[in-house]
Amino acid sequence: MDRINNAAHAAASTMQHAAFDQHLREAAQHCTQESSADPSPCPCSAQQKDHIGEATQQPKLVVISNRVAAFDPLQPKTGGLAAALEPVVERFGAVWMGSSGNLGDGTEPLDIGQHGEGQVAKLDMPREHYSGYYEGFANSILWPALHSLPDRMAASANHYESYQEINKFLAGAAFQFRDRDAIWVHDYHFLPLGAGLHKLGVDKPIGFFLHTPWPAPDVMARVPNHRQLMHSMLDYDLLGFQTNWDLNNFRDCLGTHLGLEVEHGVVVSSRRQTRCQKFPIGIDHKQFAQYASESLAKPYIASLQKKLNGAKLAIGVDRLDYSKGIDARIEAFDKVLTDQPRSIVLLQIANPSRTEIEAYKSYKRKVESLVKRVNDEHGTDEWRPILYEYNAFTQAQLAGLYRTARVGVVTPVRDGMNLVAKEYIAAQDPDDPGVLVLSKSAGAAEDFNHNEALLVDPNSPDEIATAISKAANMPREERIQRWRPMMDKIEAYTIHDWSADFVRELDKSRVTVPADHFRHLGFGWINETQMPSYRTAAELDAALKRAMDRHWILPPTGSSVSGASPESIAIASVVGTRSGS
């Protein structure tokens, strides 16, 4: 370790590393300067235009999420949600509502700005309840529970009250948009928001999409007020999940905790009929491929390649979050470097996240201690095996770094989807692609099988190390063979398919025929999802005859009608109750 302690060498090393770090910092400035040369907004991809063009009857949406997009045409999109929903706002008049990032006393008016045909509505969150809501219940109870990490749950009893108060506040703010066609709510911050909107009298379809995983019943049982939360979720007309794993866990939780069953994708509760479906989120692959191609001449890419000093590059891109498995990943690289010294460099980008929460502060200290230990043991003054960047990067920057890396390492302990896996694949050179090392517990692993990605146990540094070594030394032919089917899947279902599919399904909950115009089915409202389905034309004909027969009524409870399908009985039961017959 004499070299490390030698002040002269250390100073030289610091200057070299600083130069590399400066190139990365300057990348964002390069993006801004290049964009400024052409002040016109970036055009949508062709695929995006196709999806937008087909939506001639696009419902006027209200989108609610914890954060809203920046809507800066001079900057590339920094997240998948922004790429999907900005066109819906700008071209079809949606309203996107979320936190302004400021706190107030709860009386401040909405800050509404026009963006194309639509609007962005930002509101200051109430200071009294924000910490208990965001740092407390949302991110110290729900976040670890949803990621099946109950031992990390930590919050006080009053945090649930703050969580509910913020949701009530959001419902009140959204009420002014009640005349719009539908409302689309995003993520675990707002599980009870649909119930709050209905209590205020909002009668339009309300959908919810969960970006995180959903845990098994035994984990959900440890969440305070879990039954009340799940009941409130059934006030949504449509619940969307990332994967079959999440959807099945939610069904199991309904059965275990509420005694309800999901049949044919629908759960019927005392509140309403709620449809539960899978909508696996995608990316804009064309945009990533374009960014990757344009990045080849960027100074930060040349600087990075120089720093490798002949070693191959692996990349990890994560928020600095204990669910991302960064610590086990670094331990795996320690093992790789012990067996194959100076063979590989890890560029670990750690995006700062939830820095006020103690669990995140502690995890940051742990990760940075591991980075230092590995660099001290395996590095020299001139070469570091782990390049650690505690900063956020734009998608354009990331695409270039992805293409430069021979190995993409995505090893979360649990994740809803993890778009980094898809972004890495989309950014590769088709003739010389890298290899994806992927956690079996990431949602993306439901799409990418073991013949495509190298699937690993995220809690096993040994298994991760073996996969990294295999990926780094994999022949070009096998790399192409693995990459191609993953890219085909990414191209087949994009971020724009995802948003269009969800909106289309949510739109089915809209009223299509007032029931008093269809008097033989009674009063109330009829929509597409309530209409029964029949296996044969004969069943449909029999059901129609019964519906048109004024003398046909439901049998007493416990008896049956010969030839009546379960669907027609169920519909007749609902209609009969509403009409008072």
**Could you give all domains of the chain from N- to C-terminal order, each with its CATH number?**
59-278 (3.40.50.2000), 285-492 (3.40.50.2000), 511-579 (no CATH)
Query: In the prediction, which pLDDT does 68 show?
Result: 87
Cα-to-chain-centroid distance, residue 466: 29
Catalytic residue chosen out of the listed positions 211, 226, 285, 378: 211
Q: Is the pLDDT of residue 128 over 60?
A: yes
- Which is it for the CA torsion 71, 73, 76, 82, positive or negative? positive
pLDDT band for position 2 (cuts 50, 70, 90):
very low
In whole angstroms, give the CA distance from residue 323 to residue 143.
9
Other residues' Cβ atoms within 10 Å of the Cβ of residue 11:
10
Q: What are phi and psi of 362, to 5 degrees?
A: -65, -40
Instruction: Tell me the range of 74-83, 260-269, 304-313, 477-486 where mean pLDDT is highest.
Output: 477-486
Lowest mean per-residue pLDDT among 276-280, 314-318, 395-399, 451-455: 395-399
In whole angstroms, give the CA distance from residue 410 to residue 425.
12
Over residues 551-569, the pLDDT tens digits come to 554 444 444 444 444 444 3
Query: In the prediction, which pLDDT does 530 show?
Result: 52
Look up residue 379 and give its two tokens: 């590095």
Distances (CA, A) of 348 to 80, 208, 325, 415, 426: 21, 33, 12, 18, 19
Q: Is the pLDDT of residue 482 over 50?
A: yes
Q: What percent of the chain has a predicted confidence (pLDDT) above 70?
A: 77
- Which is it for the CA torsion 148, 152, 156, 159, positive or negative? negative
Over residues 214-237, the pLDDT tens digits come to 999 999 999 999 999 999 999 999
Higher pLDDT, 394 or 262: 262
Q: Is the pLDDT of residue 88 over 90?
A: no
Query: In the prediction, which pLDDT does 297 show?
Result: 83
Q: Is the pLDDT of residue 97 over 50?
A: yes
Query: In the prediction, which pLDDT does 19 show?
Result: 53
Query: In the prediction, which pLDDT does 69 show?
Result: 80
Lowest mean per-residue pLDDT among 33-42, 194-203, 422-431, 494-503: 33-42
pLDDT band for position 384 (cuts 50, 70, 90):
very high
Average pLDDT, stretch 69-75?
Answer: 66
Lowest mean per-residue pLDDT among 45-59, 327-341, 534-548: 45-59
Higher pLDDT, 546 or 162: 162
Average pLDDT, stretch 284-309?
Answer: 91
Look up residue 557 and give its two tokens: 């409870």
pTM for the full predicted model: 0.82
Beta strands per DSSP E along 218-329: 238-241, 262-263, 266-268, 273-278, 312-319
Query: In the prediction, which pLDDT does 527 show?
Result: 52
Lowest mean per-residue pLDDT among 73-87, 118-132, 267-281: 73-87
Cα-to-chain-centroid distance, residue 289: 21
In whole angstroms, give the CA distance from residue 150 to residue 365.
21
Look up residue 42 and give its two tokens: 């970036």
Average pLDDT, stretch 515-529?
Answer: 44
Cβ atoms of residues 175 and 183 within 8 Å = no
Q: Is 138 helix (H, G, I), strand (E, B) or coil?
A: helix
Distances (CA, A) of 170 to 283, 405, 458, 470: 28, 43, 37, 49
Query: In the prediction, which pLDDT does 538 show?
Result: 75
Average pLDDT, stretch 327-342?
Answer: 98
Residue 54 makes CB contacts below 8 A (sequence gap 6+) with 500
Query: In the prediction, which pLDDT does 546 show?
Result: 66
In whole angstroms, give the CA distance from residue 255 to residue 272.
17
In whole angstroms, give the CA distance from residue 182 to residue 357.
35
Query: In the prediction, which pLDDT does 17 show?
Result: 53
Query: In the prediction, which pLDDT does 4 show?
Result: 34
Query: In the prediction, which pLDDT does 133 show?
Result: 97
Q: Is the pLDDT of residue 127 over 60?
A: yes
Higher pLDDT, 20 or 574: 20
Query: In the prediction, which pLDDT does 113 show?
Result: 92
In whole angstroms, give the CA distance from residue 328 to residue 381.
25
pLDDT band for position 508 (cuts 50, 70, 90):
confident
> Is 211 an annotated catalytic residue?
yes
Query: In the prediction, which pLDDT does 6 show?
Result: 40
- CA nearest to 195, candidates 164, 155, 227: 164
Lowest mean per-residue pLDDT among 12-16, 72-76, 369-373, 498-502: 12-16
In whole angstroms, give the CA distance from residue 373 to residue 388.
13
- CA nearest to 133, candidates 168, 164, 97, 170: 164
Query: In the prediction, which pLDDT does 293 show?
Result: 93
Average pLDDT, stretch 61-68?
Answer: 93
Residue 523 makes CB contacts below 8 A (sequence gap 6+) with 515, 516, 575, 578, 579
Query: In the prediction, which pLDDT does 92 show?
Result: 83
In whole angstroms, give the CA distance from residue 10 to residue 380.
9
Catalytic residue chosen out of the listed positions 415, 447, 497, 507: 415
- CA nearest to 567, candidates 535, 520, 526, 537: 535
